[in-house]
Structure 1
């Protein structure tokens, strides 16, 4: 059964650079369909800041043919062994909005969910370089909204030069995530996400953009001393 993973790890800078320049590929990693390697960014950080590209803090989002392929990668692959020392969550795919050329076969919807269950959201975007200043103007308030939202247990973003940006967030409940998306959260300026999406529809920031919803299946390891990042029902 297809499974997705999201990994976080502290790695030597050289490992981070190598992962960004040559991400794991299906041709070289058995059982891998696709992977996105990303340097972490701190949500809401100033545009020109070391926090915007952190080569020693690596993220990877991946689609696999089965969990056995994940286990073999973490045990046998040089990059996989670095990631195995960090944290990752295994995910059941549920829903997508739009699509990526790299992941063409995911159905629009693959399952049902309850409003009070935990959920993981991943976005992947390929930027239009001339639109980056406009994207930052609209996107940074959304970063702060998600980062500070009481419904998230972890929220971060990653970047792979020159134009791939991804966000990852773990939510206590589907309901809280959907309230944020629709601008209905009980927080200051709740409309920030909805306003940015309306601006994207008016004139797209991206060559391609997709949002994915997942059910967390299991989490492994720790991240910055934290375990049990995924809420339990």
Structure 2
């Protein structure tokens, strides 16, 4: 539960997507002005502390959040051995698209504009989902992600897109710069956080990511085009 004055209602949910049901955590603050769906690769699900921290900051900014496990427990076990399913971008993107449909139908999030927050290979999946659902995804933020894995779909990403990478994560920064050039959105930006590694584990660095993400989503999802002071 969020510790700020904003009242946030949190519940465990079962998100039905074609072919299976995904476990998730839906948190909705009063008068939410958008909902952010988290996208990630393997080993970083709804209970991941980094995801939970960012989600709480987004909730403080008036945004609902949905954290889901994009892979089933069996798939996670297979992926731990093979490290292949986390790179199946089309599979991850299809499940994100299913979750977007679920949010549109859910009574607590119906009518809210959807943002996607991607990390690791989830950055690529978020880009593909945004390309497939141009009328339903209002903004994308990628943290230390691999949007380059979206390939040709990057040209069809038309919503405002923010790529955040750590200054010490040189290979990922290079891949993100190349991806940024291919993204079709007229509003797009790459922000490099100095002194941050791939997971932004250094003191204060994940706070900076959360602040940047909250500002981006409030600006581009809020019905009134609001601002975020942090």
Structure number with larger C-alpha Rg: 1
TM-score relative to the length of structure 2: 0.30
Which structure would you say has the larger RCO, counting Cα contacts within 8 Å and 6 or more residues apart?
1
Q: Hey, which of these two has a bigger chunk of helix by percent?
A: 2
TM-score relative to the length of structure 1: 0.30
